Amino acid sequence: MRDVIGTDDAEKISAGTHSDPFSVLGLHMVGGKPTIRVYRPDVSAVDVLDAKTGRKALSLSRLPDHPDLFTGTASRRKAPFDYRLHFTKGEHVWEADDPYRFGPVLGEMDEHLIAEGAHLNLWQVLGAHVMEHGGVSGTHFAVWAPNAQRVSVVGDFNGWDGRRNPMRGRGATGVWEIFMPGLGDGEAYKYELLDAGGNLLPQKADPFGFGAEHPPKTASVVRKINGHQWTDMAWMTKREARHRIDQPISIYEVHLGSWKRVPEEGNRPLSYLEHAEQLVAYAKDMGFTHIELMPVSEFPFDGSWGYQPVGLYAPTIRHGTLEEFRALVEACHAANLGLILDWVPGHFPEDQHGLGRFDGTPLYEHADPKEGFHPDWNTLVYNYGRREVSNFLVANALYWFREHHIDGLRVDAVASMLYRDYSRKEGEWVPNRFGGRENLEAIDFMQRANTVAYGEVPGIMTVAEESTAFPGVSAPVDTGGLGFGFKWNMGWMNDTLSYISEDPVHRKYHHHKMTFGLHYAFSENFVLPISHDEVVHGKGSMIDKMPGLGEDKFANLRAYYGFMWGHPGKKLLFMGCEFAQGMEWNHDSSLDWHLLDQPHHAGVQNLIRDLNALYRDTPALHQLDCKPEGFEWVEEGAADESIFAWVRKGTADSPPVLVVSNFTPVERSARRIGVPYAGRWVEKLNTDAKLYGGGDRGNMGFADSEHVAASGRAHSISLTLPPLSTIFFELQEGA
């Protein structure tokens, strides 16, 4: 019996517009006989081989009106059979498996969970997965595009021709899938889509791609994610204890592209493997507890620093492969360092190969630009109210935690997600269903993301970069909070940097800027951030912000860092700030490591190393970081002298610590400071020490209290306060 493909099917297959290619191509029983159909525009002949014996089963014939379509019937067979294809093109011959002889990979439960927006392992079913299917090795591709007429996977393997490998639609879920035999790790690919009207769209990178080509190329790359043998179980079992609010957390924020470069090799950035050796060793030596990386999710434009990501599931290829990124994670854990990633679920760029109008419709973003476009960044805003989009983002958080053993996510630009009128003028935003400005869908998304992340992955932490007074950012979801573990204290950062930038003669008029933060310091679990945003875009470096000349600038900076490390809250410092980087941060250049040859820069570095050690080893400085009972003002009103003094407390068995800052260039001799407890107060750190580049002025190592009233207390100590300094004293045990 001769196989006849309907004219409409043949035309659509040849044109690449058929919405159900598996109903035509591959093996079908026609008149009780196995019939095989193949679309292949670049060959002269196609034969069919029995996959078990390797023998020729039949030769296929071209359709007269559609010469790229080959068909034939195995007249001697009565049942379907496994087969391979033998191609001829001139003098070249080769064999390959037919993608259209393989059944679906996705199961009914996957389809159900995808449709519900409740698939917590979504990345394990969508994207490109190297696997064995039907006894054959290859790669399974799956993508969500519910409004597309046709979706194809394209790459070098099919000449980037979308007619060659159209995918199987999975009905109501909007997912398309295909198993491509013979493809494996390292294969570049994209998706080619026709919209509902049959219009060809720009080729798209895979939203779930685990790898990508090096920019400016934009294809996704197949990366095998299974089978890695992790060696960090010792860290993973103890990290939960390291992330409690009563633990010392000191974070070193890093931009991998500019921390250090190799001038001998075209000024290239370090690789993941080089960072695993050099960055990890440096951060450990400096006493930080965590490294925070600016976004590593694949992004097209270097100047965005990663904050406009296209490939949320792909560690950027700029520094190496996915496996090499995992090596960096393991190196951190081997050094007892946690690794935090900046995560950007707030917006995405309009690049044609990205998520924008993915299937010809505003799929991931809102259709109305008043909701779906960010005027500040010229980016698109996720439609958090769409369950599939929320699922895409929640699953992405779990992906980084589970597949890469990441310890924390710092969520970027939370304020822009919380408010519908963020950076918008009147009439340029859409109120919520109650007429308010809060983005209720984004709030629901963040609550779900935090609930799922903390519930599914033990020991992780999430941190919000949130710049408003939105209540309960780090409060539990069941009490109405957003559920983050910590929140950046942007108000503290703005106020204190404003203060320290003032000439000391004027600081008495701005005294409140250093004390105001204590009015709300315990309303959230705060991180005190001196981040990349404070040393870029004309803001100058930290040392540039300091008033005065020469040594005074360094003394100001050292005193400020002492104030910061003595203040309640976890710590975050951007790279270069730890040694008083001279120039404003430039993402295209290395930090100025040569400055460490100069004593004052090396002194600041020594100070940060010692501040981290003091913070880590002194319970009173971290145990009650987020509790009001851990802080007590001693001197908060000495504005004319620009002096601040306070006591930090830990649990009952932890000796208290007195912190005193003098923000004038005047030495205060015999200055009485009240103390809550009588005894010997031992000097633990003095930012004016010679080791740090100071004048080595102080109190000979300790001060004994006297029954002399001061600062509203019955006992006090007489101190020498060096100019522009911060000093830490700990009550000696048994005193």
Which residues form the catalytic set? Answer: 412, 465
Pairwise CA distance, residues 49 & 442, whole Å: 55
> 404, 338 in Cβ contact below 8 A?
no
Cα dihedral: 327, 330, 332, 335 (round 10): -130
Pairwise CA distance, residues 118 & 126, whole Å: 14
The H-or-E segment that residue 49 falls in is strand 45-50
Sequence letter at residue 258: S
Pairwise CA distance, residues 445 & 386, whole Å: 10
What is the DSSP secondary structure assignment for residue 243, as one 8-state letter? Answer: T
Residue 536, token pair as written in the block: 């870029």
The H-or-E segment that residue 140 falls in is strand 136-144
Pairing of strands 127-133, 136-144: antiparallel
Only one residue has tokens 């159209």, namely: 166
Query: Residue 148: helix, strand or coil by DSSP?
Result: coil
Order the strands of the 61-63 sheet from edge to edge. 26-30, 33-39, 66-73, 61-63
CA–CA distance from 39 to each of 16, 42, 48, 85, 494 (Å)?
Answer: 10, 9, 13, 12, 64
Q: Following DSSP, what letter does each residue of 207-218 receive, concatenated?
A: TT-S-BPPTT--
Please enumerate in sequence order all residues whose Cβ is within 8 A of that of 587, keeping only pairs 6 or more positions apart, or say none: 255, 257, 258, 302, 303, 305
Please enumerate in sequence order all residues whose Cβ is within 8 A of that of 389, keeping only pairs 6 or more positions apart, or say none: 363, 364, 382, 383
Q: Following DSSP, what letter does each residue of 316-381 receive, concatenated?
A: -GGG--HHHHHHHHHHHHHTT-EEEEEE--S-B---TTSSTTTTSS-SSB-SSHHHHEETTTTEE-
Residue 302, token pair as written in the block: 């270097």
Residue 72, token pair as written in the block: 């034939």
Neighbours of 281 (CB within 10 A): 12
State phi, psi for 116 to the nearest 5 degrees: -80, -10
Q: Following DSSP, what letter does each residue of 483-542 receive, concatenated?
A: --SEEE-HHHHHHHHHHHTS-GGGGGGGTHHHHGGGGTTTSS-EEEEE-GGGGSTTS--H
Query: Residue 711: helix, strand or coil by DSSP?
Result: coil
Please enumerate in sequence order all residues whose Cβ is within 8 A of that of 287, keeping only pairs 6 or more positions apart, or say none: 250, 608, 609, 610, 611, 612, 613, 616
| Chain centre distance of CA 152 | 30
The H-or-E segment that residue 561 falls in is helix 551-566
> 559, 519 in Cβ contact below 8 A?
no
- Name the β-bridge partners of 188: 221
- Counting every residue written for the chain, the total comes to 735
Pairwise CA distance, residues 115 & 174, whole Å: 8
Degrees, nearest 5: CA angle 449-450-454? 120
Residue 511, token pair as written in the block: 């005294």
Instruction: Judge residue 537's burial from the number of C-beta atoms within 10 Å of its C-beta, 0-12 exposed, 13-18 middle, 19 or more buried.
Output: exposed
Residue 165, token pair as written in the block: 């490998």
> 128, 134 in Cβ contact below 8 A?
no
CA–CA distance from 682 to each of 122, 624, 728 (Å)?
Answer: 56, 21, 8
Neighbours of 360 (CB within 10 A): 19
Please report, in angstroms and rounded to a whole number, the separation of the first and last CA atoms in the chain. 104
Only one residue has tokens 């026709």, namely: 194
